[in-house]
């Protein structure tokens, strides 16, 4: 069991550290992560990662950025109840990823998948993580290429 050290709780700010590798610094409400804050994940719990952004009732909720330095991947965008939800962009170590709408952690709605380090792009519609059909991409980036 990990011993948790509450470094300080002052007004609505909290700093919690568990060992040298895991911790949270930011706003809180009723002892829970709530508002803006940074959570650092230990190497033992998924490897050298951090989330910087908004929290609600101890879950990622609102705008935030998750980076996994060990896997060299990340997501920036909207969250709800700890899951990707709304507009966001995910990129993996190879430069492949997805930019578009998410719902309950899955691609859902219109978005663009990119492969080959970003050299191949497919704009389309997804539902519950499944690609349904391709659509014409009207993004500013594509119109300038």
User: Structural domain boundaries of the chain?
Assistant: 1-71, 88-145
83 band by pLDDT with thresholds 50, 70 and 90: very high
As a whole number of angstroms, the distance between CA 102 and CA 52 comes to 19
Instruction: Please list, in sequence order, all residues whose beta carbon lies within 8 angstroms of the beta carbon of residue 120, skipping any fewer than 6 positions away.
Output: 114
pLDDT tens figures, 111-127: 999 998 878 999 999 99
Average the pLDDT over 92-116 and give the result. 95
Instruction: Please give the structure tokens belonging to residue 97.
Output: 């990823």
pLDDT tens figures, 21-80: 568 889 988 888 999 999 988 765 556 899 999 999 999 999 999 999 888 999 999 999
Q: What are phi and psi of 101, to 5 degrees?
A: -90, 140
């Amino acid at each position: 069991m990990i011993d948790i050290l509450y470094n300080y709780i002052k007004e609505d700010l909290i700093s919690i550290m568990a060992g040298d590798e895991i911790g949270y610094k930011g706003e809180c409400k009723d002892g829970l992560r709530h508002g803006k804050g940074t959570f650092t994940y230990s190497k033992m719990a998924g490897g050298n990662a951090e989330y910087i952004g908004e929290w609600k009732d101890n879950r990622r909720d609102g705008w935030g950025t998750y980076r996994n330095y060990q896997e060299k991947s990340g997501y920036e965008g909207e969250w709800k109840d700890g899951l990707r939800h709304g507009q966001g962009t995910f990129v993996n170590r190879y430069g492949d990823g997805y930019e578009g709408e998410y719902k309950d952690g899955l691609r859902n709605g219109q978005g663009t998948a990119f492969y080959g380090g970003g050299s191949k792009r497919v704009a389309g519609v997804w539902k519950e993580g499944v690609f349904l059909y391709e659509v014409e991409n009207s993004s500013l980036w594509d119109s300038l290429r």
